[in-house]
Amino acid sequence: MCPCSCRGPVLVPVAPRVRRCAGRQKRYVGDGTSTRGSTRDRGWCIRRAYSGPTSHTALPVRCRHDRLRAPPVTADEIVRTLVGVLLLVAVATTVLLTARAASPWAPAAAILRGVVQLAAISLVLTGIIRSPLLIALALTVMFSVAATTAARRLGGLRTGLAPVAVTMAAGILVSGVVVFGSGAIAFSPRYVLAVGGIVIGNAMSIATMAGRRFRELVDDRWEEVEGWLALGATPRRSTVDLVRRAVSAALIPTVDQTKTTGLVTLPGAFVGAIFGGVSPLEAGRFQIVVLAAIMATGSVTAVLLTRWLAPVRTRPSLRER
């Protein structure tokens, strides 16, 4: 019985170094390429391929029916990972303690929280990766946490949640429709989860930076805003220039990351795809689509959020939350 999800015979000796996957009746050669038509399917399943009519040798042959199959993480790899992470945390904490920084234990606490959260989400995703309903629920939870986090940075949940949630949702919806509607990335549960998670996280960061930068500019240049109001300008008109500056400042990290991709940094989606066994060309294609989606989402979110906050009648409070 075939170990992948097609559940057909494991091997059928049809030709030298060729075997048949009975699930879709397509023939695959040793490099995982379909010999029928122009379809080129690649996956993760490791099989045997026949080198002759009756004999066979162990040869990596990939099948598209079980692309999510990957080698399990061993206990030794987990131990090595923990050792490396603990050493890096120790370096960061030691440096901050030596410099007498205000929060020397913050990196250690952040890493500990990240480990717990990633372990939990890894276990959860193992069970939901194939369920569209559960993936939609996971994305909803991600979006709720992101919107709440950004709103707390912009004056609290009571005043900041509505503008942050609406503008983030608008930006994510626009980029999602374009990415999956155009076919740039296949509309499947695992791709929706991957792209959605990345875009939601970046939308949260851009919303936070845009809102905070706008309020900082209003506070620093309040005399200019008051002057416009005294001349009869509307509250929205009095902050038009500040809105433009805030949007530009919020997008600087995203623009710089996109400009230096491949030269200075290798983005996470690209590296993750390479580690997963995808070809560099396919990983690069996926990454550039993700970067474009982040840029579109960030632009829509930053512009809508700052315009929502633009009508200012009183000097905002810049207390850190």
Whether the pLDDT of residue 241 is over 60: the answer is yes
* DSSP code, position 56: E
Quick one: average pLDDT of 94-101?
A: 89
**Least confident residue range of 76-85, 124-133, 167-176:** 124-133
Whether the pLDDT of residue 166 is over 90: the answer is yes
- Strand extents, DSSP E, 121-236: none
Q: How confident is the model at residue 177 (pLDDT cuts 50, 70, 90)?
A: very high
pLDDT at 280: 81
CATH of domain 129-309: 1.20.1640
Best CA proximity match to 63, nearest among 10, 13, 15: 10
pLDDT at 170: 95
Cβ distance 3 to 9 under 8 Å?
Answer: no
Cα distance between residue 298 and residue 257, in whole Å: 13
**Which of 106 and 17 is assigned the larger pLDDT?**
106
**Least confident residue range of 20-34, 200-214, 215-229, 258-272:** 20-34
Task: Find how far residue 304's CA is from the centre of its chain.
Answer: 22
List Cβ neighbours of 159 (8 Å cut-off, separation of 6 or more). Answer: none
**Least confident residue range of 19-23, 125-129, 170-174, 277-281:** 19-23
Whether the pLDDT of residue 73 is over 80: the answer is no
Cα distance between residue 27 and residue 261, in whole Å: 38
**Which of 5 and 198 is assigned the larger pLDDT?**
198
**Least confident residue range of 46-55, 95-104, 188-197, 261-270:** 46-55
Quick one: average pLDDT of 34-54?
A: 39
Cβ distance 291 to 258 under 8 Å?
Answer: yes
- Strand extents, DSSP E, the chain: 18-21, 26-29, 48-50, 56-58
pLDDT in tens, 131-157: 788 888 889 999 999 999 999 888 777
pLDDT at 317: 61
Cβ distance 164 to 305 under 8 Å?
Answer: yes
Dump the DSSP string for 105-151. Answer: THHHHHHHHHHHHHHHHHHHHHHHTT-HHHHHHHHHHHHHHHHHHHH
pLDDT at 91: 93
Whether the pLDDT of residue 240 is over 50: the answer is yes
Amino acid at 70: A
Give the tokens for residue 302.
């930053």
Bridging pattern class, strands 48-50 and 56-58:
antiparallel
Whether the pLDDT of residue 9 is over 60: the answer is no
Give the tokens for residue 50.
């026949």
Cβ distance 46 to 61 under 8 Å?
Answer: yes
Cβ distance 49 to 19 under 8 Å?
Answer: yes
- Beta pairing partners, 29: 18
Top mean pLDDT of 69-78, 262-271, 300-309 is at: 300-309
pLDDT > 70: percent of the chain: 74
pLDDT in tens, 11-27: 433 333 444 444 444 44
**Domain locations in the chain as residue ranges:** 1-69, 74-128, 129-309
Cβ distance 5 to 65 under 8 Å?
Answer: yes
pLDDT at 101: 84
